[in-house]
Amino acid sequence: MKKWLLLTISCISLLGLAGCGKSVEEQINIGVASAQTVFEESPREPNKKIGQIELYLPSGYSIKETDDENNYILSKGKDKYILFVNVNEKEDSQLHYDLLKNNSTKKIVKEQPVELDGAFGFTMVLEHDEGQFELIASSGGVKVSTISNNKHMDNKLVEMMLIARSVEVLY
């Protein structure tokens, strides 16, 4: 029994170390591709209601309202995210995408637009500062963004798209 426990702990440790070794480019490519897969799946059922929205928050996330009824602050550990909900935009809105694409001050590292059954979304990684990136996941009029160093960007992009896809505006 002790041998199995030791073997299990060793395997988990090795997987954890292997995950830490991903290059920035690998994290971005995996994160963007995985976020597209999340977009193409059915949205998660909301597990949180705040202000005028319901949404799904993955484990470890908290949310609070701001003075602007369209913006919410998400937190997970030390990471902070901005959730922007434009209630006037439909599921097929490309507004956020077009604004970013036409902004010549932004350097796009990787982008992935996706359309499915009348819904439009995208994942985008922008160069921010040295060693930092702006991560964006969007679905229709909903956008989740954060500034990230080069750690766990792949996981963050997936969780951000899970959140963006799940938002339902309450009327």
Which strands sit side by side in the sheet containing 48-50, from one edge to the other? 48-50, 53-55, 168-169
Q: Greater confidence, 12 or 168? A: 168
Segment 119-141 mean pLDDT: 94
Give the pLDDT confidence of 70-124 residue by residue, as tens digits.
999 999 999 999 999 999 999 999 999 999 999 999 999 999 999 999 999 999 9
Whether the Cβ atoms of residue 141 and residue 97 lie closer than 8 Å to each other:
no
The H-assigned helical ranges of 21-110 are 24-40, 95-101
Give the pLDDT confidence of 51-63 residue by residue, as tens digits.
889 999 999 999 9
Which of the four pLDDT bands, split at 50, 70 and 90, describes residue 20? Answer: low
How high is the pLDDT of residue 6?
Answer: 37
How high is the pLDDT of residue 14?
Answer: 40
Give the pLDDT confidence of 41-50 residue by residue, as tens digits.
999 999 999 9
**Residue owning tokens 């319901």:** 54
Segment 14-36 mean pLDDT: 78
In angstroms, the CA 12 to CA 15 distance is 5
Q: Confirm or reject CATH 2.60.120.1690 for domain 22-169, answering yes or no.
A: yes
Q: Find, among 79, 95, 91, 94, the residue nearest to 134 by Cα.
A: 79
